[in-house]
Amino acid sequence: MNRIDALFSSLKRSNRQALMPFITAGDPDLPTTKALVEELVARGADMVEIGIPYSDPIADGPVIAASYTRALQKGVKHAEILATVRKLRDEAKASKSAIDGTPIVAMVSYSILHRQGVKTFLEQAAHAGFDGAIVPDLPVEESAHVAKIATELGLKLIQLITPTTPRERALAIAKSTTGFIYYVSVAGITGERKSLPPELAGNVAWLRTQTDLPVCIGFGIGSPEQIRELAPVADGLIVGSALVKRLANIGDTPRSQVVADLGGFVGELADALKS
């Protein structure tokens, strides 16, 4: 069974939501990325989303876009990202750590898939140990080919629904999605928000009546208070910019301290999800 399916099946039995932090691969470097995945899982992350740096990010706000720029300026390569995830998986299997069963999902532009070849990229991602891919610039009308290849490889193709998506189109996206639905909380780009739209809960509640897939909320979530607010209406909560922002100005801070600091923040979010 795909790790994503196994996770949500387990969470459903225990009536619990998934905490899903996002980090950018190679920011500030790949050894730190590896250490962060290990630490975040140890601190309560149920799934980790890894952004594959791209020069023209889709829907990403200034915080995540800047992290992609930093990683690309340091010369991070796709092959190195895949090798890092493969190393994570191999070490976790050998040590029987929690990461062995933790889903890892790639946030990746379709431009990257197209340039490398959809089948080639997805084969490499599956071999590395990814469990699914979020492709934000892939329209549902053009997703069947990617979904077919992903399914054949045991990967999930996670698609996005936004507050401005017409309901008929939202249903079409839900039918073509596997793993879980990524519900974008706000119309706009990624980034922390002090408050979230009042209609968010109702929109997600309606969507959950239309599909058996888990519905996970992302964009704008960055505090324990927001985690507690949204937990009753979602199957999972995605936190990105609030984490990536903490990596922007680390300077000469030792890697161990950076990892511990982000781990502590995720631990606070995990505690909020349990409260």
Residues 6+ apart with CB under 8 A from 140: 159, 169, 172, 173, 176
CB 125 within 8 A of CB 86: no
Within 40-178, strands assigned E span 48-51, 104-107, 132-134, 156-158, 160-161
User: Residue 160 pairs with which residues in a beta bridge?
Assistant: 182
Note down the domain range covering 106. 3-274
Structure tokens at 74: 């340091």
Residue 34 has pLDDT above 90, yes or no: yes
- Over residues 182-238, the pLDDT tens digits come to 999 765 444 444 555 667 888 898 999 999 999 999 977 889 998 998 899 899 999
Closest CA to 183 of 212, 205, 168, 154: 205
Scored b (16 or more CB within 10 A) or e, 215-231 reads bbbbbbbbbeebbebbb
> Looking at 70-79, 243-252, 253-262, which range is the least confident one?
243-252
Give the pairing of strands 132-134 and 156-158: parallel
Residue 176 sits in a domain whose CATH number is 3.20.20.70
pLDDT score of 47: 98
User: Over the stretch 57-94, which tens digit does the pLDDT of each residue have?
Assistant: 665 567 888 999 999 999 999 999 999 999 999 999 99
- Number of domains observed in the structure of the chain: 1
Tell me which residues are annotated as active site.
49, 60
- CA distance to 19, 226, 273, per residue, from 234 (Å): 11, 12, 11
Q: What angle do CA 51, 180, 71 make, to 5 degrees?
A: 0
Helix (H, G, I), strand (E, B) or coil at 237: strand
